[in-house]
Amino acid sequence: AWFDCVVVDAPCSGEGMFRKDAEARAEWSEANVMACAARQDAILEAAYALLKPGGRLVYSTCTFAVEENEAAVERLLARFPDLEVGSAHLHPAWQPGLASDEADPVRLTARLWPHRLQGEGHFLALLYKAGNGEAPSQLLQTESKIYTAADKELQAFAAEVLYELPPGPYLRFGNKVFQVMPTTPVLDGLRLLRPGWPLGEVRKGRFIPDHSLALGLRAEQVQRCHNLAASDPDVISYLSGQTLATDLPNGWAIVCVDGFPLGWGKVTRGVLKNHYPKGLRWRR
């Protein structure tokens, strides 16, 4: 119960894709529709649990099946009476959800018919959770520990490279170090990519800064900055993964364009070794 908005693009029977997807037509069955509806109920229940009071839940499918659309919303409202349907009519071509009664809240959901717009068949519902928007104050529950002070590797890196250490608390997730919020929610049972701002990782007793740390800093926060003009050909060279010549002293440095950070480099004897992530590098 911590997120302002949860968006569920649910796996469905795919009836809205029949026009262009032969595989969706071949896989369809009444049993599959009911299996999808049951799975969607479980997904929506999990989404509700993540949503904080006052938050929004967006639910969408690419099917025409009532069981997976309006009926799914009705089942959700029956389980959680603190949910209220909001208007999802964001475009004139979107039609009201299927309901016999004009006062039925599912009329506020939206049907996207492929013969009325440029696209396929879809369904969209917007729901609000009652409350004042305050999330419960829950501290992190995980096998890793939260530290109010940075460990020695991060402190040593900050003393050499930064003018000021990003404030804590900090979380060690294996070898990786993150800055987290003091009220980070309960994480048990969640598959996490990042529990906070990735600062870097500890390798063989040394701190290696993360690319995300560079992007979250300003040039004046770093002791060594190799600043380039936007018109400088070295900008493309750096983004392509090449080394650069520099007059900076040895050590970690941030590469900037007109004061805005691009990423890290490490200077050794007048050569800035490129630490721009390989997956982001430009190809000439």
Helices and strands in the chain, H and E counts: 6, 16
Sign of CA dihedral 202, 203, 207, 209: negative
What's the pLDDT tens digit per position in 42-76? 999 999 999 999 999 999 999 999 999 999 999 99
Q: Which of 36, 62, 225, 256 is catalytic?
A: 62
Nearest to 171 by CA among 151, 186, 193, 191: 151
pLDDT of 98 > 60? The answer is: yes
Q: What is the per-residue pLDDT for 209? A: 97
What's the pLDDT tens digit per position in 214-237? 999 999 999 999 999 999 999 999
d(CA 284, CA 241): 11
Q: Indicate if 62 belongs to the active site.
A: yes
d(CA 59, CA 23): 24
β-bridge pairing 225-228 and 251-257: parallel
Environment class of 195 (CB within 10 Å of its CB; exposed 0-12, middle 13-18, buried 19+): buried
